[in-house]
């Protein structure tokens, strides 16, 4: 089981685990599939910040990541 640290940038998480981009895209964070955005905003954006900006509940994202077999650490509840 891979561990995802939500304090890491989206860029770091997607680079290490490309399937994270698919999960975020499915939830509605469509910009994740744009390489230019991933390489710029993704370098300082975290999943919690992106969820807040797009008004997607962080718990929904965490649930989907965990359903895909990831262990999520450093979310607001940890």
pLDDT tens digits, one per residue of 25-74: 999 888 899 999 999 999 999 999 999 998 999 999 999 999 999 999 99
Split at pLDDT 50, 70, 90, the class of 77 is low
Give the sign of the dihedral formed by CA 31, CA 51, CA 64, CA 16: positive
User: What's the whole-number mean pLDDT along residues 10-35?
Assistant: 93
Q: Which residues contact 33 (CB under 8 A, 6 or more apart)?
A: 21, 25
pTM of the full predicted structure?
A: 0.89
Residue with the larger pLDDT of the pair 37 and 76: 37
């Amino acid at each position: 089981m891979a561990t995802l640290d939500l304090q890491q940038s989206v860029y770091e998480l997607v680079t290490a685990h490309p399937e994270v981009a698919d999960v975020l895209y499915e939830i509605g964070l469509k910009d994740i599939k744009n390489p230019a955005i991933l390489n710029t905003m993704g370098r300082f954006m975290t999943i919690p910040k992106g969820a807040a900006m797009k008004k997607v509940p962080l718990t929904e994202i965490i649930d989907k990541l965990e359903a895909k077999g990831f262990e999520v650490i450093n979310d607001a509840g940890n």
